[in-house]
Structure 1
Amino acid sequence: MLVLHSFWWLLCALTVAAKTHTFYFNATYVNASPDGTIERRMVGINNKWPIPTIRVKKNDRVKIHFTNLLNENSSLHFHGLFQEGTNAMDGPDMVTQCPVAPGTTFLFDFEVKDQAGTYWYHSHSGAQYSDGLRGLFIVEDDVPLAVDYDEEVTLTVSDFYHDVSGVLVKNFMSRYNPTGAEPIPQNALFNETRNASWVVEPNKTYLLRIANMGIFTSQYLFIENHNFTIIEADGVYVEPREVDSLYLASAQRYSVLVHTKDTVDKNFRFVNILDQDMLDFLPEDLEVISTNWMVYNKKNPLPKPLKNDNIGTTFQDLLKRLNPVDDFYLVPLSKEKLLPDADVVINLDFTMEPLGDGVTYAAFNGISYVPPKVPTLMSVFSSGKYADNSQIYGSNTNSFVIQPNEVVDIVLNNMDPGKHPFHLHGHTFQIISRSPEGQDEENPIKFDPSNSNHTDYPEYPMIRDTVQVHPNGFFVIRFKANNPGVWFFHCHVDWHLEQGLAITLIESPFEIQKQEIIQNHYDSCNRTNIPSYGNAAANYGETKEAWLNLEGENLQVAPLPEGFTQKGYIALVLCTIIAIYGIFSIYKYGMEDVTSEDTEAMIAKLYDILRKNGDTVGNEYHDEAEEPLT
């Protein structure tokens, strides 16, 4: 009886301690110049940018009244938060909800249950968070950390584009970008600015929470003559690990300890470096290496910025001086053992290739994710007894139904020469295997369960929510299906998500149906003219056959006609560019006496002719046995 009474008082104490945080966030456009070179339109909150950091404690409740005052749809996703029992608050468009339409308000209402650490929140509508709708979400533990530190500070790094996301996506997802080359950022940001100074005091230990909120590139970080001690990764406490530098893929986070020196006679560089290996080309004006400063004494001079052209080294030479930790070898402080063998194995072969419209798409097992007509979570709620049939969720959503408490392995084989960070909503996962980079693009390293090409699984695997796969390599992650919900698994290079690099996990569908969708979800669908009932095609009925009827669903673009290769398409586009240049040269050197007015009219007419002809590109092809196009 005494034990029961004590438990009751403990429960009451926790209930009293929990707090509700209420925010009123208006998404608005704000003009800003983060990199100091141009002013552009950013997406802010309440007419301010950068947007605020949200700070709560474990078990607190969060209520965000999110009003969209933009001229485009928007949303919020709380990256890394499990949303236990509140899957409807996870945020991604057409996965758990309809987008928030301009001029409307959506209430995000959830509890942060049994989680602490460094998280963030961002738009999950297209590539919108590259426009600035991204901020830190810090969850303080309800017990003091088992490490000593004097002060906590936060740091974000990101890539920055001068164009807004809508322009970037339009140019990226174009037949005139046949290789699928990602947009190159103009700069790297450090706490949403550049050339920043962090003023420190001597002989102090700082807890530094760091997040890569970029949409594309991974980044390296180091402080001259200082080390980092990693204590947390993606909300998971780890055994302390001292390193001289960090490598953060998009969406990854670390908490580190930094101990300052005893003297104040010198200031030091704090450097963030874009991973240029992820870029298809390097513009001359792109500063891959960005210098900020750790300032001990404002009266002392700051060291000169590091630049590729004045430090007598190359990017690769600089990296050889650094030794960032391989996160595969971090060990969770909890010493959680390897989960039992998987009940379900999801094998994903990832490829990129152009389809019939000439645009390059990303695909898992040949299927490029296309959003359904009804948000998948709403299909779960409306489908009743048919909710455990994966077919109702669509042919192009890469949907997998998982039953309660199953152990799930995701085996991802990267058949692409790029680096890709993958994030799982609603869970952390164990990283149980990861290959090195494959050196042969024609023969990528694929996972072989017979143990012929991977090491033994670790006894205490690293746990996090975002992991990067190496070029032409693989990883295997494992988690337990103990959080009912519709969860997205996708590449966090959002350009690749735009290309369709995602799957949908419908975990414990009949348990999901016991949760609640509040009225504002249906209101959002009504305001965007999106159906909220039915299967992926918005079809439904009294029979199983009616629910399996996917007529009218959203589908990926048809494949290229047989015999038309990607190289052939690239050659055709290049020939078109060369033809344009040739026509311009003929005009330039053969018609110099034409007036400027005639010049502009002729160029416009030529461009119009070429554009109209270009509209047929992708419908024409040649057999590889024939003479190549010239």
Structure 2
Amino acid sequence: MAIPTRILLVSFAALIFFIQCSRAKTVTHDFNVTWVTANPDGLHPRKVVGINGQWPLPVIEVDKGDRLVVNVYNALGDKNTTIHWHGMFQNNTNHMDGPSMVTQCPIVPGASFTYNFTVNQNGTYWYHCHTDACYPDGYRQALIVHDQDAFFNEMYDEEFTLTMSDWYHELVEDITFISVTNPTGAEPVPDSFLVNDTQNSSLAVEPGKTYLLRLVNMGAFVGMYFYIEDHSFQIVEMDGVYTDPTEADLLYISVAQRYSILVTTKNSTAKNYPIVTVVDSSLLDAIQPTLQLNHTNWLEYNTTADHPQALMPASDSSDLTPFDDMTLIPHDRTPLLPDPDIVIEITAIMDNLANGAGYAFFNNISYTRPKVPTLYSVLSSGDLATNPTIYGEYTHPTVLGHNQVVDIVLNNGDTGSHPFHLHGHNFQLLTRFPSYADGFFTYADTDNPVTFNPSNHSSFPAYPPRRDTLVVPPQGYIVIRFIADNPGIWLFHCHIDWHLMQGLAMVLIEAPTQIQQRTTIPEDHWAACSAAGVSGVGNAAGNAEDLLDLSGENRQVAWLPAGFTTRGIVAMVFSCVAAVLGLGVVGVYGMSGNNEECSQVVSRYFQG
């Protein structure tokens, strides 16, 4: 008797699942998070966040299907922490995603917390602190998910991971940023730039072999151009998504983006070749002559041969035109998703608030953290979980229905580019303007910003590329699409950490009813809330009695009064400071008893 096709398919699927489960293992790490001292650029020793007394942090490596368990103890003494597993979808484990006051309470000094989730993905990822801007202080490292079934496994002989990052000589808390003394919101310029948390390093290779290089920009601010002199390569992965092998010789890698590339070495050991990283200098407000923007590491064929510096001029990156990620084709050929059920239209701007400091906004809302983690508000709100009001105005919440097709249309009203990251998903890249070839990095006409026109735009690709972090051009736009098939609380934010500090974020509450049905918070997570003095129930204002009463919610700083300008406020502040100092000087002279000298001082002061 013939076996029905449906039964055969179910049986085959069950067999595949069994095989995957038989391969899986549990990978456990115990992280004692402490301060250590490091000097990776050789210019300035400083405190950094270490793990188990070591820095750089450990690279985490797992196989697809493994369970990853990380037991965290915060021994920093003076700083909260969390870990975000960047690019991990966290299907059914939204409470393991990591952003403080979004899916968990902060891990305060002396508290413990366990992250425990299954990795059903493949590719190149990273992990980093996601509270109080702590990852520029060194709390970040690569997370590699190996895949026995990757289509390119037989195409290479060995693999390396290359991380790139910007580096500051001061702790984040000691850098003046959101302040009336920085009214333009100019981002702090890094003091140096690193590859694999060092400089001037080499990758030892053999001639005539092919290597898989996993590239991760885990910086806090600056995008990097990447190339290898006299070598091209094939892109095979982008942010965890396999792509058709595509030849390129120059990449632009913003903070939080990743690529895997195949590099085939030459058949000679006569020389070594520079691996070049070039800073995207358009992001830097001011560049000191001593700041080195280009860095050379080496593809080392011969330890005794010369290690030459890169030929790239050290002054400017504006002439570089990198490979356009919008042209990649996903290897799985996932087609363009259907027309959206919901379109989220947002405009990113940078502006000043009443304290004279610079902030960042989506549609005039600067993200301000709630008093209760948003996930916990969902779990404690019953039937009101689908009402965005309970999540607070200043978390900029949007509630998504289960399995809705979602478009995010992001217009950039700023003159700088921004890398935007979506937690819990990757997304299809539908369109972007300008393209890399059409002035992406130089278009900043404040009088003529280009916004997306749904009735007049370039056609969307049949098989759109997918990734989880995409750069929007200055004064341009991007359109992305995804399916809300992963119930959870997911941030959408700029991954320049300074801009996240300024509020360039919003929260998506995806399928809240399903979240309630699927989520159980572990006891040690509740204990972390208790240690932090944070409530685990109620709305964004911490109100558990009347969830629609947002009195007392955390609010963004008020807007400037009508008629005031930032320059005027700054001038007023410094005038007041000068006046107080001046009157103090007058007072000192007055008490000295020298009336004639005091009169002269008073006369000079009030004459200007």
**Shared fold (TM-score greater than 0.5)?**
yes
Instruction: Say if 2:214 and 2:259, in contact at 8 Å, map to a contact too.
Output: yes
Instruction: Say if 1:233 and 1:464, in contact at 8 Å, map to a contact too.
Output: yes
Are 1:340 and 2:338 matched, yes or no? yes
Deviations 1:335-392 (A, max 9, x none): 1111111111111111111111111110111110000000000000000111000000
- 1:53: how far off? 0.9
Secondary structure of 1:166's partner?
helix
Q: Distance in 2 between matches of 1:160 and 1:9?
A: 48
Q: Distance in 2 between matches of 1:259 and 1:323?
A: 23
Structural RMSD (CA): 2.1
Match of 1:152?
A: 159
Q: Distance in 2 between matches of 1:495 and 1:489?
A: 15
- 1:307: how far off? 7.3
Q: Distance in 2 between matches of 1:308 and 1:159?
A: 20
Q: Given the alignment, which residue of 70, 74, 92 partners 1:85? A: 92
Are 1:124 and 2:122 matched, yes or no? no
Instruction: Say if 2:180 and 2:570, in contact at 8 Å, map to a contact too.
Output: no
Q: Given the alignment, which residue of 501, 519, 527 partners 2:504? A: 501
Secondary structure of 1:443's partner?
coil
In 2 relative to 1, CA 46–306 (structure 1 residues): closer, same or farther, beyond 3 Å? farther
Q: Distance in 1 between matches of 2:420 and 2:12?
A: 44
Instruction: Say if 1:179 and 1:570, in contact at 8 Å, map to a contact too.
Output: no
Q: Distance in 1 between matches of 2:573 and 2:254?
A: 32
Matches within 5 A, 1:211-610: 211-304=216-309, 308=313, 314-316=315-317, 320=319, 322-436=320-434, 437=440, 438-451=443-456, 454-514=457-517, 515-541=519-545, 546-569=546-569
In 2 relative to 1, CA 439–363 (structure 1 residues): closer, same or farther, beyond 3 Å? closer
Question: Which has the higher mean CA deviation after the structures are superposed, 155-164 or 234-243?
Answer: 234-243
Deviations 1:578-618 (A, max 9, x none): x79x99xx9xxxxxxxxxxxxxxxxxxxxxxxxxxxxxxxx
In 2 relative to 1, CA 54–563 (structure 1 residues): closer, same or farther, beyond 3 Å? same
In 2 relative to 1, CA 416–97 (structure 1 residues): closer, same or farther, beyond 3 Å? same
Q: Distance in 2 between matches of 1:278 and 1:40?
A: 25
Match of 1:595?
A: none
Instruction: Say if 2:356 and 2:570, in contact at 8 Å, map to a contact too.
Output: no
Q: Which amino acid aligns with 2:418?
A: H
Q: Which amino acid aligns with 2:566?
A: Q
Q: Which amino acid aligns with 1:175?
A: V
Q: Distance in 1 between matches of 2:150 and 2:131?
A: 36
Instruction: Say if 2:183 and 2:570, in contact at 8 Å, map to a contact too.
Output: yes
Q: Distance in 1 between matches of 2:526 and 2:33?
A: 21
Q: Which amino acid aligns with 1:18?
A: A
- 1:305: how far off? 5.4
Q: Which amino acid aligns with 1:456?
A: S
Q: Distance in 1 between matches of 2:12 and 2:403?
A: 31
Q: Distance in 1 between matches of 2:70 and 2:238?
A: 26
Q: Distance in 2 between matches of 1:403 and 1:528?
A: 32
Q: Structure 2, unaligned stretches of length 5 or more?
A: 435-439, 586-607
Match of 2:589?
A: none
Match of 1:612?
A: none
In 2 relative to 1, CA 164–9 (structure 1 residues): closer, same or farther, beyond 3 Å? same
Secondary structure of 2:109's partner?
coil
Match of 1:109?
A: 116
Deviations 1:234-291 (A, max 9, x none): 0001111111111100000000011111001111111111100000111121101111
Question: Which has the higher mean CA deviation after the structures are superposed, 41-50 or 374-383?
Answer: 41-50
Q: Distance in 2 between matches of 1:570 and 1:198?
A: 50
Q: Which amino acid aligns with 2:237?
A: E
Match of 2:54?
A: 48
Matches within 5 A, 1:34-45: 34-45=40-51
Q: Distance in 1 between matches of 2:575 and 2:474?
A: 30
Q: Which amino acid aligns with 1:50?
A: P
- 1:460: how far off? 1.3
Secondary structure of 1:346's partner?
strand
TM-score using structure 1 length? 0.87
Give 4+ residue runs of structure 1 displaced > 6 Å after superposition. 573-577
Deviations 1:286-321 (A, max 9, x none): 101111122111111211355746xxxx414xx53x
How many residues were matched structurally? Answer: 569
Q: Distance in 1 between matches of 2:474 and 2:260?
A: 27
In 2 relative to 1, CA 525–52 (structure 1 residues): closer, same or farther, beyond 3 Å? same
In 2 relative to 1, CA 337–305 (structure 1 residues): closer, same or farther, beyond 3 Å? closer
Q: Given the alignment, which residue of 136, 152, 160 partners 2:142? A: 136
Q: Which amino acid aligns with 1:219?
A: M
In 2 relative to 1, CA 15–498 (structure 1 residues): closer, same or farther, beyond 3 Å? same
Secondary structure of 1:294's partner?
strand
Q: Distance in 1 between matches of 2:430 and 2:150?
A: 30
- 1:16: how far off? 2.0
- 1:80: how far off? 0.2
Match of 2:72?
A: 66
- 1:198: how far off? 1.6
Instruction: Say if 2:416 and 2:444, in contact at 8 Å, map to a contact too.
Output: no
Q: Distance in 2 between matches of 1:350 and 1:144?
A: 37
Match of 1:622?
A: none
Q: Structure 1, unaligned stretches of length 5 or more?
A: 587-629
Secondary structure of 1:55's partner?
strand
- 1:488: how far off? 0.5
Q: Distance in 2 between matches of 1:529 and 1:37?
A: 40
In 2 relative to 1, CA 272–315 (structure 1 residues): closer, same or farther, beyond 3 Å? same
In 2 relative to 1, CA 202–123 (structure 1 residues): closer, same or farther, beyond 3 Å? same
In 2 relative to 1, CA 17–539 (structure 1 residues): closer, same or farther, beyond 3 Å? same
Secondary structure of 2:155's partner?
coil
- 1:142: how far off? 3.4
- 1:58: how far off? 1.2
In 2 relative to 1, CA 420–137 (structure 1 residues): closer, same or farther, beyond 3 Å? same
Q: Given the alignment, which residue of 96, 101, 120 partners 2:103? A: 96
In 2 relative to 1, CA 439–493 (structure 1 residues): closer, same or farther, beyond 3 Å? closer
Q: Distance in 2 between matches of 1:571 and 1:415?
A: 26
Q: Distance in 1 between matches of 2:186 and 2:63?
A: 42
Secondary structure of 2:32's partner?
strand
Deviations 1:208-248 (A, max 9, x none): 00000000000011111011211100000111111111110
